[in-house]
Structure 1
């Protein structure tokens, strides 16, 4: 599991840095095997982390040329709760809107030419995730987590890219 996560982080860094000529985005996961809530099955866990990495990259690609964003994800608690389902062969995520809101803890640094513009640690959460409109379709995996990340990015880093704005 550890080597899988290291490979994911390394592949993510290369893919993210290559995604935009102007901005580089690096996403890493600190001890993902200890995260509060990620799928248990390795390929589902890997896919979840890949989708989060891709989303941070998409947002970071809107940064001005020369700015680099580094994100270390320290913990993830996905929206809803996973309920084992032998019939489906995998867990089913049930969203109730009670104490099952999405949460994420991360450390970030926004740099330009080696100078730190912004940095810090952030506790993201959306207690009302089912009560407000999201810009993502129901079929979009991690739509509530992505909305939560968008809100943080817009408040902390800068405007959302055109392909993500409302």
Structure 2
């Protein structure tokens, strides 16, 4: 699982491409095998972590030139609850909108030219995840988590008012 952390962090940086070499995002998953809620199957867990790292990298493209963001994710609890599928396909995730909202805990550092601009800990939550408009595709199984991450990124990193 430790190898997964390094590969995921590298994938997040590489996802930025050559055009954004001056701004980058590094995502590390700290003890991801202990996260509260990820899919049961190892390949699905990796898929979810890679997808979230790629999304952080996509958001990082809006950072000013020379700024770098490091995110250490310490906890993930995805929206809904997962139930094993007895037919061998993907497990079934049920979204009820009750006490099953997405939660993510992380540490972050935004730096430029080796100087720390801001850093801290954050607990991202979206208790009303089913009641809000979501610009993410209905086919994106992490659309609620991504909206929550994007809201945090805009308010905390880019300091945009919503």
The TM-score, its normalising length taken from structure 2, stands at 0.91
Asked if the contact 1:80–1:101 (Cα under 8 Å) also holds between the matched residues in 2, the reply is yes
Unaligned runs of 5+ in 1: 161-166
Stretches of 4+ aligned residues off by more than 6 angstroms = none
1:106 aligned residue: 106
Q: Deviations over 1:126-166 (max 9, x none)?
A: 00000010111211120000000011011101168xxxxxx
Deviation at 1:56, TM superposition (A): 0.4
Unaligned runs of 5+ in 2: none
Deviation at 1:21, TM superposition (A): 2.3
Output the CA distance in 2 between the equivalents of 1:69 and 1:155.
Answer: 14
Output the CA distance in 2 between the equivalents of 1:125 and 1:113.
Answer: 31
The TM-score, its normalising length taken from structure 1, stands at 0.89
Match of 1:121, SS state, is strand
Output the CA distance in 2 between the equivalents of 1:18 and 1:61.
Answer: 11
Output the CA distance in 2 between the equivalents of 1:65 and 1:5.
Answer: 26
The alignment of Structure 1 onto Structure 2 pairs a total of residues equal to 161
1:69 aligned residue: 69
Distance 1:20 1:32, change over 3 A: same
1:12 aligns with 2:12: yes
Output the CA distance in 1 between the equivalents of 2:112 and 2:7.
Answer: 27
Match of 2:20, SS state, is coil
Tell me the C-alpha RMSD between the 2 structures: 1.9
Output the CA distance in 2 between the equivalents of 1:17 and 1:25.
Answer: 11
Match of 2:49, SS state, is helix
